Amino acid sequence: MTVRNTGRLIRKLQALPLDARAGIGRALTVSVVEMDAHAKTRIQGGGRSGRTYRRRGVTHQASAPGEFPKTDRGQLVASLFFRVGGDRLSAMFGTALLYGRYLEYGTSRMAARPWLRPTFRTLEPQARQRIRDAVQAALRAARG
């Protein structure tokens, strides 16, 4: 889907009072919370088909290339965050851990185990519809 005149739409939305944008903020919040939960569920659960190894007496089965990364020590899951901008028109979901990027895109020594893009692609249709509905409701309310 292509959104035309996005600059004009953003200016129009920014001109709305914050309380009129509340529905958009709620739609964004629900969407990023859903993405956060989806990523955590996929990283922590599910079967894996990567190699099995022992470290410090604990057996771990890693993820194979192309699969969601498999939790080992739980650092990636613990680092996931989301936030909605104060303007209620933007949201962010991700991790500040450097190796989150390495898992997503791979390195010269490791194939990618993407988790962020597949999460977004899976939930994008619902998020788009939710946000589209909230924007239309905010614009209708502004018209009177």
pLDDT in tens, 101-123: 999 999 999 999 999 999 999 99
- Spell out the residues 6+ positions from residue 26 whose beta carbon is closer than 8 angstroms to its own: 134
Where do the DSSP E strands lie in the chain?
52-55, 58-61, 81-84, 91-94
Q: Do the strands 58-61 and 81-84 form a parallel or antiparallel pair, or are they unpaired?
A: unpaired
Between CA 8 and CA 3 the distance in angstroms is 11
Q: How far apart, in Å, are the Cα atoms of 92 and each of 13, 34, 52, 89, 123? A: 18, 12, 34, 11, 14
pLDDT tier at 50, thresholds 50, 70, 90: confident
- Is the pLDDT at 46 greater than 80? The verdict is no
| Global pTM value | 0.85
pLDDT digit string (tens) for 57-93?
888 888 899 999 998 889 999 999 999 988 888 899 9
Element (H, E) at 84: strand 81-84
Between CA 39 and CA 37 the distance in angstroms is 6
What is residue 117's predicted lDDT score, i.e. its pLDDT?
96
